[in-house]
């Protein structure tokens, strides 16, 4: 697994565990909704993860972007599709998104390198 | 055509005409990019319009939401799919999105009523 | 009841009814969370509504502001307290909040006038 | 004076008067800072108003945009300069700014028409 | 003192000192307002710091969140109260807040550990 | 060259190269627009870079701020002018901008130290 991917996943998992220890019922329900909303339904998982990614990019949240890049990779989004998502995110969100796009490209490369067994 | 849809389209068309009269070359190029980015490509038009809609909802721009609702309707997004987009937008963007979601439901109903020949 | 308050409440109620007719299960759960999160708990209702108001102001959502102004009024927030909330919202969110603050003052006056039986 | 300009100025003046009646000392200091920050200094008024306008556009606040358009007009910003500001605002803020840009063009036309004695 | 808390406080203090050396009068007035707005008044310090925290969370500013977490800790906010603030912030701001919530939980733990003399 | 400046420029250059290898035509056009929009025109480069900086500050993007600080430095913006830009950014964007302002001051110092041959 690529180094960026591993670091992101480890911290996310550690803190989600801590949240499950400390959070109240409403927060746990909110996290449950966060899971079920991306499940296969009228829209398939791939489409929903692309929606989650573009929303994360225009709102400029690096960790959210990394999470949905990982899920998009799992769902089989290819490079050409990813570039079209990147374009819509840059267009709608503006050049202020570009630094996040740079880090997204770096993370996407990291995901692809781990796929290649590097 | 529904009344909300008609009002939105008329104002948008009028001001886009005025922009084409007054804007400089870079602005015109930016508008051209705004068109070509949603064209059929590695991702189809329906997927891209859903991406545009969710981005517009989490950024809370009523006019952008109306525009992409119209395009989603043209592209054949059905009610069940639309509800799953609405859910992701509410979830990612938070309850601050709800007033925009209310107006989106009203506009979507207006689009459906115009479809029904009302 | 003041005119602004009445218009806001009527539209909100109408569209919430429509949402309950059309929304999927996840959206209904999200709306339920939106209710229970402001219920009396470790923090009382008055404190929670002030939190909801300041969040709505810095995110600059007029309808959300109106909603929480109404709830703050019900919970007994007085003018001096309200001014200190307004100040924190203007300070944290910046002068970009001022137009929303203007409309908030107008709505707050409308709430107070309805209280006075006007 | 153009109709849009007049309506904006009237409402703004009415609510600013009401704010001066009701606000606490800190809010009044914040409003004072809002005035002095745009005064002639190391940067001239015209430059500062252009800064205020571009900030208002990328943050997508229609009233703030109208206010700074009026001030830019007073400071002698011409159409070519205004188009370059509009472009930077659209570029940095993204296509989500376009509906605000449409309304800005309409308001700028209203300012120019009042200049022409219409 | 916990390590995260110490690092945050040191950098903040160093740069605030530098700002006081370099800033103009208006900036210093703005910083003064930032202090006086959270002072005890019609609302007590604890309530105001909770308002500052929820505003910082929905606007997703990690440093602002850390600052107000420290102040909330000083003002005696307990874990149950903090969880209800976290829930309102996640709800209003949406799942895009979650990565900031993760870092807030880590920092809150760091504040509690320093309290325990660790 | 100062250390912060060097690190920023190196990463930016590396990822822009990678983007030019991987991006589609629309993304390349968007990047081209991002260059031409800041070129000398009806407004000079110095004014445009100040516009880019204030937009980046109120949208709270550290990398965008660093980029435009570098360009403002190249264009001859002096300390007094920079402080007035900082004030407008803090005022319009609010105290939520302050942590970004701290980092901007640190980076500006780094730019000035490299100028001094340190």
What confidence tens digit (pLDDT) does each residue in E18-64 have?
A: 999 999 999 999 999 999 999 999 999 999 999 999 999 999 999 99
pLDDT averaged over chain D? 96
| Contact yes or no for D58 and A91 at CB 8 A | no
Domains of chain C: 3-116 (1.20.1290.10)
Above 0.90 for ipTM, yes or no?
A: yes
d(CA F105, CA A26): 41
All residues at 6 or more sequence positions from D66 whose CB lies less than 8 Å from its CB, including other chains: D4, D5, D8, D104, D107
Residue D29's contacts (CB-CB under 8 Å, 6 or more residues apart) are E29, E33
pLDDT at position B112: 96
Q: CA B104 to CA C116: how far, in whole Å?
A: 35
pLDDT at E114: 73
Give the pLDDT confidence of F69-79 residue by residue, as tens digits: 999 999 999 99
Tens of pLDDT along A35-84?
A: 999 999 999 999 999 999 999 999 999 999 999 999 999 999 999 999 99
pLDDT digits (tens, 9 = 90+) for B54-99: 999 999 999 999 999 999 999 999 999 999 999 999 999 999 999 9
Q: For residue B98, what pLDDT is reported? A: 98
pLDDT at position E118 over 70: no
Confidence of residue F116 (pLDDT cuts 50, 70, 90): low
* End-to-end CA, chain E: 7
CB within 8 Å of C90: residues ≥ 6 apart:
C57, C97, C98, C101, D27, D30, F94
* Mean pLDDT for all residues in chain F: 96
Residue B48, pLDDT > 90, answer yes
Angle C3-22/C98-115 helices, nearest 10 degrees? 100
> How far is it, in rounded angstroms, from Cα C97 to Cα C95?
5
Q: Which of E105, E111, E113 is nearest to E62 (CA)?
A: E105
Confidence bin at C26 (pLDDT 50/70/90): very high
Q: In E, what residues contact F, Cβ < 8 A?
A: 11-12, 15-16, 18-19, 22-24, 26-27, 30-31, 34, 55-56, 59, 61-64
Q: Taking residues B3-20, report their average pLDDT.
A: 98
What count of CB pairs under 8 Å joins A to D? 27
The Cα E104–Cα E88 span in angstroms is: 14
Question: pLDDT band for position B114 (50/70/90)?
Answer: confident
State the pLDDT at residue C114: 73
Is residue A118 predicted with pLDDT exceeding 90? no
Residue A24 phi, psi (nearest 5): -85, 175
Query: pLDDT tier at F59 (50, 70, 90 boundaries)?
Result: very high
**Residues 6+ positions from C43 with CB-CB distance below 8 Å:** C51, E50, E81, E84, E85
- Which residue is closest to E46 within chain C, CA to CA? C47
| Contact between residue D43 and residue C106 where contact means Cβ atoms under 8 Å apart | no
CB contacts, 8 Å: D90 with chain A:
94
Mean pLDDT, chain B, as a whole number?
96
Mean pLDDT calculated for residue range C29-51: 98
Closest of C101, A104, D75 to residue F22, by C-alpha: A104
D86 and F44 Cβ atoms separated by less than 8 Å: no
Task: Give pLDDT tens digits for D19-72.
Answer: 999 999 999 999 999 999 999 999 999 999 999 999 999 999 999 999 999 999
Distances from the Cα of A113 to the Cαs of A77, A117, B94, C33, in angstroms? 15, 6, 34, 40
Average pLDDT for C103-112: 98
> How far lies E47's CA from each of C50, C53, E37, E42, E58, in Å?
9, 13, 12, 10, 17
Span E56-95, pLDDT tens digits: 999 999 999 999 999 999 999 999 999 999 999 999 999 9
C-beta atoms surrounding A10 within 10 Å? 10
Q: Quick one: average pLDDT of D97-113?
A: 97
φ and ψ of D99, to 5 deg: -60, -35
Nearest CA among F34, F40, F91, F92 for reference residue F64: F34
Q: Residue D118 pLDDT more than 50? A: no
Contact E33 D33 (CB under 8 A): yes
Q: Is the pLDDT of residue F118 over 50?
A: no
- pLDDT confidence band for D114 (50 / 70 / 90): confident
Q: E-chain residues within 8 Å CB-CB of C33?
A: 91
Specify burial of residue B46 (Cβ count, 10 A radius: 0-12, 13-18, 19+): middle
Position C85 scores a pLDDT of 98
Q: Which of D27, D38, D85, D92 to mutate to test the interface with F (most CBs of F within 10 A)?
A: D92
pLDDT at C87 over 70: yes
Contacting residues of C for E47, CB less than 8 Å apart: 47, 50
Nearest residue to E69 (alpha-carbon basis) of E77, E61, E59: E77
Q: What is the pLDDT of residue C118?
A: 47
Compare CB distances from E83 to A16, A24, A56 and report the shortest one's residue: A24
D16-42 burial code (b ≥16 CB/10 A, e <16)? eeebeeebbebbebbbebbeebbeebb
Would you mind telling me the total number of residues written for chain C in this entry?
118
* Residue among E103, B76, E19, E91 nearest C30 (CA): E91
Across the interface, which of E87, E96, E106 has its CB nearest the CB of A64? E96
- State the alpha helices, DSSP H only, in D23-97: 25-36, 45-58, 62-74, 79-93
From the list B90, B99, B105, the residue facing C61 with the nearest CB is: B99
């Amino acid at each position: 697994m690529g180094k960026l991917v591993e670091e992101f996943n480890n911290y996310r998992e550690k803190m989600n565990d801590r949240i499950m220890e400390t959070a109240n019922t409403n927060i746990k329900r909110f996290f449950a909704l966060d899971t079920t909303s991306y499940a296969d339904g009228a829209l398939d998982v791939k489409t929903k993860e692309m929606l989650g990614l573009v929303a994360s990019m225009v709102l400029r949240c690096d960790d959210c972007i990394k999470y949905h890049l990982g899920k998009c990779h799992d769902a089989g989004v290819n490079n050409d599709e990813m570039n079209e998502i990147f374009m819509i995110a840059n267009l709608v969100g503006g050049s202020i998104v570009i630094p996040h796009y740079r880090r997204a490209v770096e993370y996407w490369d990291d995901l692809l390198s781990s796929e290649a067994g590097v």
